[in-house]
Structure 1
Amino acid sequence: MDYIKKITSPLGGITIASDGKALTGLWFDGQKYFGEALSKEYVEKDLPVFQQTEEWLAIYFSGKAPDFTPPLSLKTTPFRKNVWEIMLKIPFGRTMTYGEIARQVVQQKGLSHMSAQAVGGAVGHNSISLIIPCHRVVGGNGSLTGYAGGIDKKVKLLTMEKIDMSSFHVPEKGTAL
C-alpha cells in the first residue's frame, strides 16, 4: 500500500509518497512524470517519514543544508538507482554535469563509455525531487536543462543554494545537452 501527503512549499504544492516506512516519492504538483513511482491505489495519511520529510524541507527552504536524509526507497531500475545514488552525493550549493555523472557510472561499472543523454533520462525520472537533488545537475556547456519541475524552479532552487549563476544559461528549445 502506498501513502501520500500533500504539502505546500515556497515554490508551490508538493506531494510526497511512502510505502509506510520510507519515502518513495516527492514531486512538485503537476511536474513531468508526477507520481511515476506511485501505485494506482494509495491513501492520504500522515506518517513519521512524512514528518521527517517536512522537517527536511523546512530546513532546506530556509536556505540551509539539512544534516539528515529521511529514509528512502528507490523504486526504479538498477541504472536509474545508480545515477540517483550519485546525485544524492552532490553537496548543497554545488552542481555536477550529466557528463561527470556518466563518467562516475563508467568507472563504477567498468564500462567503456556512457552517454550524457542516458544519464539525462535517469535524472529526469528522479521520483524523489529535492532530496535526490536533480536540480543540481547541469549541462556540460553550462545549460540549465532537463528539470521535470520546470526550469524556473531549477533556477530558484540553485539561487536559494547560493550557487553562482553567472556561468549558467537556459538553452533555446531544441538545443542538445
Structure 2
Amino acid sequence: MVDVAFGSVPTPLGDVLAALTSDGVAATAFQDGDRVRREILDRLGARAVDDPGRTALAREELAAYFAGRLTGFTVPVDWRLMSALQRRVLGTLYQSVAYGKVTTYGELAVSSGAGVPARAIGSVMGSNPIPIIVPCHRVVAGNGLGGFSGGDGVDSKRWLLTLEGHLPPTLDWEL
C-alpha cells in the first residue's frame, strides 16, 4: 500500500492541499479538510502518514507560485498512479506548456500523440489529479477559456492565467 503525507498552503483561492507519496506529488486539491483527504486516500488506494518533511518542498513552491515568485515547479511528480492516457497527455502538458503560455485542447491532442479527440483531452484535464503543478489551467478552448473543474471553476482558471500574465488583470484583481 502507498503511503501519503499531506500539507496545505493558504492561497488567494483557498487552502491548496498537496498529497505526496515517497516518489512525489500524487494529488493536489483546491481545498483542505478530512473529507478531501479521505477522497484522495481512497482514489490512490493509500494510507496517510505524518511526514511534514516530505511535503516541505511542495508547500514552499506552492506558496511561492501563488505569491508570484515561482514560474516552474521542481517538486517531483508521482505519475505512476495515473492511467496511461493521463500520463501521456498530462506529461506532455507538464513538459511543453510553460508558465504564462497556453495551448488548446486540440493542440494538446496532437502534440501528445494520444490518438484521442479534443473533447477527450478536456476529460483528461477534468480528471487531472495534480492541478496547478500539472497546469491543466493552461489548456484553453479554441474560442475562449474552456472549462475548469478546480476551485471555483472558470473563475479560478482565469485567476491562475492572470497570475501567470497570460490574461490582463481586472480592476478588482489582487495577488
TM-score by length of 2: 0.79
Q: Does 1:101 align with 2:108?
A: yes
How much does 1:40 deviate? 5.4
Change in 2 beyond 3 A, CA 1:102/1:67 = closer
- The one-letter amino acid paired with 2:7 is K
Q: RMSD of aligned C-alpha atoms?
A: 2.3
Whole-angstrom CA distance in 2 between matches of 1:60 and 1:154: 14
Corresponding residue for residue 53 of structure 1: 58
Corresponding residue for residue 47 of structure 2: 41
Corresponding residue for residue 74 of structure 2: 69
Residues 66-86 of structure 1: CA deviation (Å, up to 9, x unaligned): 344201101111111011111
Q: What secondary structure sits across from 2:167 in the alignment?
A: coil
- The one-letter amino acid paired with 1:97 is T
Change in 2 beyond 3 A, CA 1:153/1:146 = closer
- The one-letter amino acid paired with 1:115 is P
Question: How many matched pairs?
Answer: 158
The question of whether the paired residues in 2 share the 8 Å contact of 1:37 and 1:127 is answered with: no
Corresponding residue for residue 123 of structure 1: 125
Corresponding residue for residue 11 of structure 2: 9
Q: What secondary structure sits across from 1:8 in the alignment?
A: strand
How much does 1:26 deviate? 1.0
Whole-angstrom CA distance in 2 between matches of 1:143 and 1:155: 8
Change in 2 beyond 3 A, CA 1:20/1:5 = same
Q: What secondary structure sits across from 1:41 in the alignment?
A: strand
Corresponding residue for residue 172 of structure 2: none
My pick for the range that moved more, 154-163 or 55-64, is 55-64
Picking from 28, 31, 48, the partner of 1:29 is 31
- The one-letter amino acid paired with 1:151 is V
Whole-angstrom CA distance in 2 between matches of 1:67 and 1:7: 17
TM-score by length of 1: 0.78
Q: What secondary structure sits across from 1:163 in the alignment?
A: coil
- The one-letter amino acid paired with 2:160 is L
- The one-letter amino acid paired with 1:96 is T
Return 5+ residue gaps in structure 2 as ranges: 170-175
Corresponding residue for residue 91 of structure 2: 85
Q: What secondary structure sits across from 1:14 in the alignment?
A: strand
How much does 1:103 deviate? 0.8
Higher helix share: 2
Return 5+ residue gaps in structure 1 as ranges: 167-177
My pick for the range that moved more, 92-101 or 34-43, is 34-43
Corresponding residue for residue 18 of structure 1: 20
- The one-letter amino acid paired with 1:101 is L
| Misfit runs of 4+, over 6 Å | none
